[in-house]
């Protein structure tokens, strides 16, 4: 009887230990996903802060290109309206990236602007920030992939169900037109 009792206690302890480890792994993955999303927000905020400086620098050189500035300003305002939903935020951020590409393309027609140190510094900063945003999004999606795999595979699926871990969305391009190359027309 003592041996049977010890065996039952041992099995129960192993199951409890497995539950704790599986729960902790799911929790770590979920927190990494939140951290990755926060990293995206940090880079988006950096870009968001750089845009007014870039627009003001360029504005003095191209007074007649007001539609470009309006589009950048509208896209920036749309980002501010998002409610924190990663999917809506991604769509608004992708639109803002597209308008920035148009702004840089228009700036190519102004040799004095292209040589302006402030413009070049801002352009480099925004390009660097865009690269960091892409890297942050890839990291976020990789973390989400790991988390979603864990909650859908056995045996961690059991723990995910018990503790109500839900699948998290990937950062994706919102529409087919955003997947196409940007066409700049003058």
Say how far apart CA 132 and CA 140 lie, in whole Å: 12
- Both structure tokens of 115: 């040589």
Q: Please state, rounded to an integer, the average pLDDT across all residues of the chain.
A: 75
Q: For the residues 42-68, what does the mean pLDDT come to?
A: 68
Distance CA 47, CA 95 (A): 13
Q: How far apart are CA 3 and CA 5, in angstroms?
A: 5
> What is the model's pLDDT at position 94?
72
What pLDDT score was predicted for residue 42?
79
Q: How far apart are CA 32 and CA 34, in angstroms?
A: 5
Nearest C-alpha neighbor of 71 from the set 105, 103, 108, 94: 103
> For residue 90, what pLDDT is reported?
72
In the DSSP assignment, the letter for residue 73 is H
| Confidence band for 63, pLDDT divided at 50, 70 and 90 | low
pLDDT of the residue at 14? 92
**How far is Cα 20 from Cα 35, in angstroms, rounded to an integer?**
22
Q: Is residue 140 within 8 Å of 37, Cβ to Cβ?
A: yes
User: Would you place residue 150 in the very low, low, confident or very high pLDDT band (cuts 50, 70, 90)?
Assistant: confident
Closest CA to 131 of 50, 40, 2, 30: 40
Domains contained in the chain, CATH given: 33-148+171-179 (1.20.1440.20)
User: Would you say 14 and 155 are in contact if contact means Cβ atoms under 8 Å apart?
Assistant: no
Tell which residue, 124, 117, 110, has the closest CA to residue 65. 110
Of 2-11, 122-131, 176-185, the range with the highest mean pLDDT is 2-11
Q: What's residue 186's pLDDT? A: 32
Confidence category of residue 64, pLDDT binned at 50, 70, 90: very low
Residue 99 to residues 76, 82, 89, 90, 94, Cα–Cα distance (Å): 9, 17, 15, 14, 9
Q: What is the pLDDT of residue 167?
A: 87
| Percent of the chain as helix, strand, coil, to the nearest 5 | 80, 0, 20
Residue 100, pLDDT above cutoff 80: no
Model's pTM, two decimal places? 0.57
């Amino acid at each position: 009887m003592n041996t049977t009792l010890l065996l039952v206690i041992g099995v129960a302890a192993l199951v409890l230990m497995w539950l704790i480890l599986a729960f902790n792994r799911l929790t770590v993955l979920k927190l990494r996903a939140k951290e990755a999303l926060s990293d995206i927000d940090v880079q988006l905020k950096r870009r968001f802060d750089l845009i007014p400086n870039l627009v003001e620098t360029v504005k003095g050189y191209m007074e007649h290109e007001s539609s470009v500035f309006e589009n950048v300003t509208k896209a920036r305002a749309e980002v501010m309206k998002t409610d924190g939903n990663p999917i809506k935020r991604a769509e608004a951020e992708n639109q803002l990236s597209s308008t920035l590409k148009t702004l840089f393309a228009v700036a190519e027609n102004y040799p004095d602007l292209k040589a302006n140190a402030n413009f070049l510094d801002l352009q480099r900063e925004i390009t660097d920030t865009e690269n960091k945003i892409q890297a942050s999004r890839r990291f976020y999606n990789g973390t989400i992939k790991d988390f979603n795999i864990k909650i859908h595979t056995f045996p961690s699926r059991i723990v995910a169900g018990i503790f109500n871990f839900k699948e998290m969305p990937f950062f994706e391009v919102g529409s087919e037109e955003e997947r196409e190359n940007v066409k700049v027309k003058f």
